[in-house]
Amino acid sequence: MTSTTASVLPAEWAPQRAIQLTWPRPDGDFAHMFDAVERCFTDIAVAITRYEALIVACGDDVDALRQRLLAAGAVGERLHLYPAPADDVWARDHGPITVFRGGVPLHLDFVFNGWGGKFDAARDNQITRRLAAQGAWPAAVEPVDFVLEGGAIESDGRGTLLTTERCLLAPTRNPQFDKQQIEQRLKTWFGLDRVLWLRHGDLIGDDTDGHIDTIARFCDADTIAYQACDDAQDPHYADLKAMECELQALRTAGGEPYRLVPLPLPGAILDADGQRLPAGYPNFLILNGAVLVPTYADPADAVALERLRPCFPDRDVIGIDCRALIQQYGSLHCITMQIPESAA
């Protein structure tokens, strides 16, 4: 197991050096709707460059993509594009997880196995090392022989990690370890005092085995925004109510109840086969000066944005239409990975 000394896993609201995106391929899973999903990626990329640098892993058409992004309004000096072959776009799960060891940033490169072997991931699993070899960031990369996706963990930056049993204990990830062993490894790698586990909160259509970033997110060390459901006729109702009860029972490191912010559930979005997709609002991205929130052309969009604004009083809260993105079972946070500047 990797040895760490004085490690810190920063919260997402800590100062950031950049955000990583992995650009969709015209011949990839979004091929049948590439123009629509590239517009979504472009909107997200342009929004990010208004606030900080953007690292893009893309195909060999680096110059052409740069020109398209510049024409759309991206800030040129904040654009950093690198050719890196990819299987898919989900940078949250194949990107590096940054810790600070003795105050120095280090990118932990965990194994990505396509959410338990569901999809090809061999090229995605090499992206972090390919980007590092091209100088995308100055910090070192350290491989870790353990399957872990960034979407599976939430840090408050103060030694508390929030996650789900369904994902981290899935037998298709690290079957050689039990819950206690996994928790101890997380504590070692990330410098944690405690791990909070949720048993409930599954979204229909989610193929990650229950990533925490789709259902419950730290907004600060004392506040958790979560996916709620008030419609007793919705098939999510019982499970999300059970998760709500779990969250109500959790305590901060200081022993106080968390401030809980319920986010509405958008109306059902279906794929071409009539299957429900895992649309929700906790899949937001925190930037240095903004929070980008997925929206779905739903009346609940405005409610979600209004509830999140008081959680981030010093940041702009901006909605991004992610209806194209959700067609492949992920949303805004799933395609991004922050590269922290410091552990503050």
Structure tokens at 263: 């986010």
Question: b vs e for 137-175, b when ≥16 Cβ sit within 10 Å of the residue's Cβ?
Answer: bebeebeeebbbbbbbbbbbbbbbbbbbebbbbbeebbe
Side chain identity, residue 104: V
Structure tokens at 82: 């690198």
Our CA dihedral for 47, 52, 55, 61, rounded to 10 degrees, sits at: 50
Side chain identity, residue 51: Y
Spatial distance between the Cα atoms of 128 and 295, rounded to a whole number of angstroms: 29
Name residue 79's beta-bridge partners.
Answer: 54
Residues 247 and 216 sit within 8 Å (Cβ to Cβ) = yes
255 CB-side CA count, 13 A: 0
Question: b vs e for 235-255, b when ≥16 Cβ sit within 10 Å of the residue's Cβ?
Answer: ebeebbeebbebbeebebeee
Let me know if 58 is a catalytic residue.
no
Q: Mind giving me the DSSP string for 22-34?
A: EPPPTTSTTGGGH
The torsion angles phi and psi of 173, rounded to 5 degrees, stand at -110, -70
Structure tokens at 256: 């106080």
Name residue 8's beta-bridge partners.
Answer: 100
**Catalytic hit among 229, 311, 322, 334:** 334
The catalytic residues are 334
